Amino acid sequence: MKLDYRFRDPSLAELALTHRSVGRPNNERLEFLGDALLGAIVAEMLYEAHPRASEGELSRLRAQLVNGLALAVLARELELGDGLKLGPGELKSGGHRRDSILADAFEALVAAVYLDGGFPHCRDMVRGLFAQRVADLPKSSKDAKTRLQEWLQARGLPLPVYQLTGSQGDDHAKIFDVACSIAEPAPLQVHASGPSRRAAEQEAAEMVLGHLAAPLPPA
């Protein structure tokens, strides 16, 4: 395992690499904790790296970095597969190469570092592993309204309609409420608020883009 961290309690590292097919104890509880820690630390990195990004854009960027395939790649770089403990069935079927098992082991390992050395060590490890990945994310110079318009135009669909639905607060701190509607590919209307009409429209456009990027529900 090529991890830049030395465990004071090696049993935690061993547990992090023990798949449920072995029985109990296994890494499922560590995986749960590691998932939360990983999401928070990567969110912090993205918040710092993209000061102008909206909540929706930050969420999509995090999803690019923290997903099963991406974490499996990291696990392979750290050679976690070589240390996995698997039951007979998973051993026969090549479980040490399976993306889902590798990704789960990586999340469990994050939690193991946290329990062994505390949050600062865990944070440093995750930031070290993700620093270049965050830096390599594409930085789009186009705002959300432009990207939404181009997405619809590229498919020959009607353009979005923005409507000011209200405002509240004093003149020096007014909040504007906006609705953004699209007719196709499926009727959708979202509502957003912001310190200016333009800011509210941008947030609404980002929300629509988030819906358009989401996978379709099962039939």
pTM of model > 0.75: no
Q: What share of the chain is helix, strand, coil (3-state, %, to 5)?
A: 60, 10, 30
* pLDDT on residue 93: 81
Contact status, residue 95 vs residue 17, Cβ threshold 8 Å? no
At 215 the pLDDT is 52
Evaluate whether residue 1 is within a structural domain.
no
User: Which position among 90, 104, 107, 203 bears the catalytic label?
Assistant: 107
CATH number for the domain spanning 42: value is 1.10.1520.10
Question: Per-residue DSSP letters for 51-74?
Answer: TT--HHHHHHHHHHHSSHHHHHHH
Same domain, 44 and 63: yes
- CATH code of the domain covering residue 198: 3.30.160.20
pLDDT of residue 9: 95
For residue 140, what pLDDT is reported? 57
Residues 46 and 62 reside in one and the same domain: yes
Structure tokens of 70?
């991406």
Burial of 168 (0-12, 13-18, 19+ CB in 10 A): exposed
Domain boundary among 95, 118, 136: 136
Residues 98 and 18 reside in one and the same domain? yes
The residue among 136, 162, 183 that closes a domain is 136
> Does one domain contain both 54 and 125?
yes
The 3-state DSSP class for residue 18 equals strand
Within-domain flag for 218:
no
Question: Both 102 and 180 in a single domain?
Answer: no
Instruction: Assess whether 126 and 194 both reside in one domain.
Output: no
Q: 192 near 180, Cβ under 8 Å?
A: yes
Residuewise pLDDT in 10s, the chain (219 residues) = 788 889 999 999 999 999 999 899 999 999 999 999 999 999 999 999 988 888 877 888 888 888 888 899 999 999 998 889 988 888 878 877 888 899 999 999 999 999 999 999 999 999 999 999 998 886 655 678 988 999 999 999 999 999 999 998 887 778 999 999 999 998 999 999 988 898 889 889 989 988 887 654 443
The C-alpha atoms of residue 134 and residue 189 are separated, in whole angstroms, by 32
SS3 of 144, please? helix
Task: Tell whether 39 and 113 lie within a shared domain.
Answer: yes
SS3 136: helix
The label of the residue with tokens 């590919």 reads 185
80, 50: one domain: yes
Domain for residue 3, yes or no? no
Of the candidates 35, 104, 201, 206, the residue annotated as catalytic is 35
Phi, psi (deg, nearest 5) at residue 176:
-105, 135
User: Does residue 46 sit within a domain?
Assistant: yes
**What H or E segment, with its residue span, contains residue 33?**
helix 28-49
Q: Which domain holds residue 57?
A: 10-136
Q: Mark whether 129 and 179 lie in a shared domain.
A: no
Instruction: Determine whether 31 is an active site residue.
Output: no
Domain boundary among 67, 102, 136: 136
- Is 111 found in the same domain as 27? yes
Question: Which run of H or of E encompasses 17?
Answer: none
Q: Same structural domain for residues 152 and 175?
A: yes
Q: Where are the alpha helices (DSSP H) in 67-137?
A: 68-77, 88-92, 99-117, 119-136
Chain centroid, CA 5 distance in Å = 24
Q: Is-catalytic flag, 107?
A: yes
Residue 4 inside a domain? The answer is: no
Tokens 């991406």 correspond to what residue?
A: 70
| Collapsed DSSP state (helix, strand, coil) of residue 218 | coil
Which H/E stretch holds residue 197?
A: helix 197-213
Residue 81: inside a domain, yes or no?
A: yes
Same domain? 166 vs 76: no
Domain count, the chain: 2
